[in-house]
Amino acid sequence: MTPDAFSDFLAADWGSSNLRAWRLSADGAVLDLRRWPWGVARLQPGEAARKLADEIRPALRAQNLPAILCGMVGSALGIAAAPYADCPADGDALGRRLLKIDDRTWIVPGLRCLRPDGYPDVIRGEETKVLGWLALDPARRYGDHVLCLPGTHAKWVLVRDGRIARFNTCMTGELFALLSQHSVLRSGAAPSDGAGFTEGLAYGAADGPLAARLFTVRARQVAQNLDPGRAASFLSGLLVGDETARLPPLLGLKPGATLSLMGDPDLCALYRTALERQGFTIDTADAEAAVVAGLTQLRHAGAIP
């Protein structure tokens, strides 16, 4: 059976905060796209399945088409908890592990890995983007590649010979939100100062416990009347600096290596600044193209008719 024998299908990237759903042709061409604010963290139990049947399928004229969904929709908060698959994993392995919900609905499982430090890590949704990124260029199927997907929980993924080998999650975005909204560091302003961000990056790479470097944001406001917008930028830079100075070595990356960034363009721009200062060459990838390619690949790998 070749892709030409397959029907159109419904594909969705359904996370904690947002939902994007496409009607795709069998070869992954985008025929329609809708966005909704129905992240599973915002829905009541059972609501995700009803949204799929009553709103998403009709909106994309996909009532009877196969649907393949990735992201937190595959957790206990979503439609059903899809057990994690283990690393290393490629598209074929993940395709065999799709969780069948009913005759026309499948969920992509997340991935679990064991890191060199002996502890586990988990990912749910980003595996599909990374597999799609791999599928978009055959040259990527050989050797080692590292992708960084910044966000609330940034994911740093090591790909080796076409398989997701392992990854590290870094909760930089969540820490920034907590500290700038609920802690003594809150300045009441949004980050607004490129020089403050750059200064924060340098201090993020400095020695000492993070909790001590963080307090500097407060001490500078009290002792030096640091401008609130600059304080917020300094905090953002400090957290991104701590991450970008210390995480690449955990994945074996050395300065000079190439690293691919994928995600929100504004956030990727901040990470690019940070990582270029660390001596990395940055390549920016299109997250939307990647997730569409990943869901298309998994649909075929899973032999979903």
Q: Binding residues for a copy of itself, per CB under 8 A?
A: 84, 112, 117, 119-122, 153, 168-172, 174-175, 178-179, 182-184, 203, 206-212, 214-216, 218-220, 222-224, 239, 242-243, 245-247, 249-250
Smallest separation (angstroms) from a copy of itself to the CB of 187: 15
Residue 36 vs 215, nearer CB to a copy of itself:
215
**Two tokens, residue 269:** 């721009």
Residue 3 vs 120, nearer CB to a copy of itself:
120
Q: Which of 97, 92, 119 is nearest to 107 (CA)?
A: 97
Pinpoint the alpha helices (H) of the chain: 47-51, 57-59, 91-96, 126-135, 172-182, 194-204, 210-224, 228-246, 265-277, 287-301
> 11 - beta bridge partners?
22, 68
Residue 48 vs 239, nearer CB to a copy of itself:
239
Smallest separation (angstroms) from a copy of itself to the CB of 231: 12
Smallest separation (angstroms) from a copy of itself to the CB of 69: 19
In this structure, are residues 160 and 268 in contact, taking their beta carbons and an 8 Å threshold? no
Residue 40 vs 301, nearer CB to a copy of itself:
40
What is the DSSP annotation of 201-249?
HHHHTSSS-HHHHHHHHHHHHHHH---HHHHHHHHHHHHHHHHHHHSGG
Cβ-count burial 81-108 (b if 16+ within 10 Å, e if not): ebebbebbbbbbbbbebbbebeebbbbb
Smallest separation (angstroms) from a copy of itself to the CB of 275: 13
Q: Which of 95, 68, 132, 107 is nearest to 303 (CA)?
A: 95
- Rounded to the nearest 10°, the torsion over CA 97, 99, 103, 104 is -90
Smallest separation (angstroms) from a copy of itself to the CB of 213: 8
CA dist list (Å): 237 to 96, 108, 206, 288: 41, 34, 12, 26
Residue 52 vs 226, nearer CB to a copy of itself:
226
CA distance 164 to 94: 10
DSSP state of 285: E
Residue 79 vs 240, nearer CB to a copy of itself:
240
CA distance 290 to 141: 14
Residue 8 vs 242, nearer CB to a copy of itself:
242
DSSP state of 115: -
Smallest separation (angstroms) from a copy of itself to the CB of 245: 8
Smallest separation (angstroms) from a copy of itself to the CB of 185: 8
Residue 33 vs 122, nearer CB to a copy of itself:
122
Smallest separation (angstroms) from a copy of itself to the CB of 50: 26
In this structure, are residues 62 and 8 in contact, taking their beta carbons and an 8 Å threshold? yes
